[in-house]
A = this chain, B = another copy of it.
Amino acid sequence: MKVGFIGLGQMGAGMATSLLKAGHDVTVYNRTRSKTDELVKRGAVPASRIADACGGDAVITMLANDAAVESTAYGDQGLLASLRKGAVHISSSTISVALSERLTADHAAAGQRFIAAPVFGRPDVAAAGELAVVAAGSKETIADVTPVLDAIGRRTFVIADQPKAANLVKLSGNFLIASVIESLGEAIALVGKGGIDRKQYLEMLTSTLFDCPVYKTYGKLIVEGKFEPAGFAAPLGYKDIRLTLAAAEDLRVPMPFASLLRDRFLTLLAHGGDALDWSAVGRLAARDSGKA
């Protein structure tokens, strides 16, 4: 398929590479132009304006936050102005439920199609084309872009007809991961202060009840205290907890763990954690225990 790809951060670059590997015809755009170089070497066509990435069957956006997606979609010569009738905007960014709802309506009004297809996985998983894709939108539209989704992910979960459902699922997933980070952080602070070898402890956990990627990945980062470079930066994690809470407010669902996580991220950021991986939240319990 002929697709545009907008947003070549760590995740986006890996996803675009996967599309090229799968044989798609890919036009890439990034605000900082130099980030397209590597992909152009691999066969991508560089676009100097967003509109130039909008000539094909679909455009994928993989951007940092609501503001970036908003300006990309609604700006002069943005997606709404540039996509042809029937073309599909595949939004893989982790955005608010509210913006997803708005994009659904506005693309429909413009005769275009919109699906939300956020992904789970860190940069290395993206580069391997092994992401988990959570897609929501009209069944027909999703079917039409299946070759694209198959290229970026190991598996696609079609979760609902309304695109915004996929965004809610993605936010809830990031909330679950953040809960793993915090709970591991507290447990590791406890056993560590109790004199137990933290590495061995983690090995025990992850070879028994907690034998899954999330505990392995984040447990290792917390035990090693290695939060730079960030695979997923703390301000992004904070943003996602805030968007989770915003969705929970609209639905009137009190989420005490999420509230607590919000305060944790705020504490991390207030102490200069902007450049750290979000797993640095897992060190706050140790810090509060006087053993940072």
Q: Which residues of B contact A289 (CB under 8 A)?
A: 251-254, 267, 270
Q: Which residues of B contact A279 (CB under 8 A)?
A: none
Task: Confirm or deny: A179 has a beta carbon within 8 angstroms of a beta carbon on chain B.
Answer: yes
Task: Confirm or deny: A169 has a beta carbon within 8 angstroms of a beta carbon on chain B.
Answer: yes
Interface of A is mostly: helix
Q: Is the CB of A259 within 8 A of B262?
A: yes
Task: Confirm or deny: A177 has a beta carbon within 8 angstroms of a beta carbon on chain B.
Answer: yes
Q: Which residues of B contact A209 (CB under 8 A)?
A: 120-121, 132, 173, 176-177, 212-214
Task: Confirm or deny: A201 has a beta carbon within 8 angstroms of a beta carbon on chain B.
Answer: yes
Task: Confirm or deny: A256 has a beta carbon within 8 angstroms of a beta carbon on chain B.
Answer: yes
Q: Is the CB of B254 within 8 A of A190?
A: no
Task: Confirm or deny: A37 has a beta carbon within 8 angstroms of a beta carbon on chain B.
Answer: no
Task: Confirm or deny: A76 has a beta carbon within 8 angstroms of a beta carbon on chain B.
Answer: no
Stretch of A8-16, A45-53, A155-163 lying at the B interface = A155-163
| Contact A189-B257, Cβ < 8 Å, known A205-B176, A210-B212 | no
Q: Is the CB of A288 within 8 A of B183?
A: no
Q: Is the CB of B256 within 8 A of A194?
A: no
Stretch of A26-34, A103-111, A242-250 lying at the B interface = A242-250
Task: Confirm or deny: A41 has a beta carbon within 8 angstroms of a beta carbon on chain B.
Answer: no
Give Cα distance in the complex from A176 to B209, angstroms: 10
Residue ID in chain B nearest A269 by CB atoms = B252
Q: Is the CB of B190 within 8 A of A255?
A: yes
Task: Confirm or deny: A85 has a beta carbon within 8 angstroms of a beta carbon on chain B.
Answer: no
Most buried by B among A208, A215, A249, A269: A208
Q: Is the CB of A263 within 8 A of B270?
A: no
Residue ID in chain B nearest A166 by CB atoms = B196
List residues of A (258-288) whose CB comes within 8 Å of B's CBs: 258-260, 262-264, 266-267, 269-272, 285, 288
